[in-house]
A and B are shown apart, each in its own frame.
Chain A
Amino acid sequence: MNQEKIVFLIAILLFCAFSLFLNGFTSAGNLLTLVRGVSTLGILGVGMAILIIGRGIDLAIVAIYAMSVGWTLHLANGGISVPLAMLIGYLFALSAGVVNGVLIAYVEVPALFATLGMASFVYGFARYALVPLYVVYMPESASGIAWIGSGFAFGVPVPILLFALVSLLGFAFLRFTKPGRFIYAMGDNFAAARMSGAPVRPMIILQYAISATIAYLAGLVTATAVASMNTNIASSSMIYDVILVVVLGGIGLSGGRGGVRNVVVGTLLIGILLNGMTIMDIQYTLQDVIRSLVLLIAIVIDSIVNPRDEQTAQQGDI
């Protein structure tokens, strides 16, 4: 009985309970809304999972997600062609990710602090120099990419399909490629991975580049779904939700174990919880409290299921 199974069980119980007691919960429309509502979170979760499995973390993922796409829309509004604006926005996201990677891999700044500082910097810099408005609306010219967030394919919303695609790619990357196996090795025992010849420093940069790419993709999904990007979300509690789906799904923060399946399970539980609370009309702030408590419980369970190993726990491993 590991954490993934526990969480999955709770999700099923919650699902059954909501189906019984909440009107319209089981309708096909609501279920699609449920999954679609958390697909952005799930996509970001896959990026975060790739990092956490390698014993890293990216607290800048939400800032990159909001500010890079915000800048893309702002540039498109300013008359630049959409593909070019997307390229520039993506390069901004990628460079933030690569700088994170360099700081962590070569300067040896702990990942927590590097990405925390980077989150503040990306938000502050974009707000100061690139994106003057809090809410950037999607321009007419960008209607060609609106299908990403609001389109349907085979009767299923595209965001859900994208979530599935990213999960599949993430799964294949982690399971079948050499870099994927290196990530597990680094998360399990960084020093051993390094000594046995894994190119750990380039790998760290690759990881943060992947997470920045995924953040940009998730940002596009959000922006095209609601035809705007609210850049204020960068300083919201969304980053904790991303960590929540990963930790909740059973990926230990000590790294080296777990997979994309855990992210899917964690995302489903959060989706059901949020959807149910919204139907029950629970106030948004109270939902925040409940989510925080759920995360707290998840961390406690995580530390009980995956106790910290005194042998490998390093100095400054906070």
Chain B
Amino acid sequence: MNAATPRTTVGLKVSAPGAREILLTRLFDAPRDLVFDAFTKPELIKRWMFGPEGWSLPVCDLELKAGGKMHYVWKHKDGNSMGMRGAFREIKRPSRIVHTEIFDEDWTGGETLVTTLFTEKDGKTLVEQTILYSSRAARDAVLKSPMEDGAAQGYNRLDKFLAGQADRRGAA
């Protein structure tokens, strides 16, 4: 069910195309409308974006329209939780989503702007996600996160909790 087998290099590609951006590129073996649904329907999002082992995503509310708000809360079985809010700027089903994100404990140095593109070829779907930090200083804040954490969008927090070094400030 999850990443028990590392060492794939054919999967996700991550690059840093600009001073303030991170780009994720991943091919999915499914038609575009299904992939788009999996990225935008709360009941589906909860089934894959729940974080590392021990975490779940009990709250995933979103209004899928330009200007619509989103609210995510991840919870760990030991009681820690982490919230994230954001808003959609643009939705073009099934090819493009632009939204903002900010974590309750703002560790990314301000809002990030996330652009997700879905391109279908031969029944497979290429997803390209660009995360733009508000400034170089903001991206610095992300890079400050400990190296042993996958410093993804807030998940370094999750890893820290897992490692039993929870930062209690944000614990619910």
Chain A complexes with chain B: no
Binding site for B on A (CB under 8 A): none
Q: B-side interface residues toward A, CB under 8 Å?
A: none
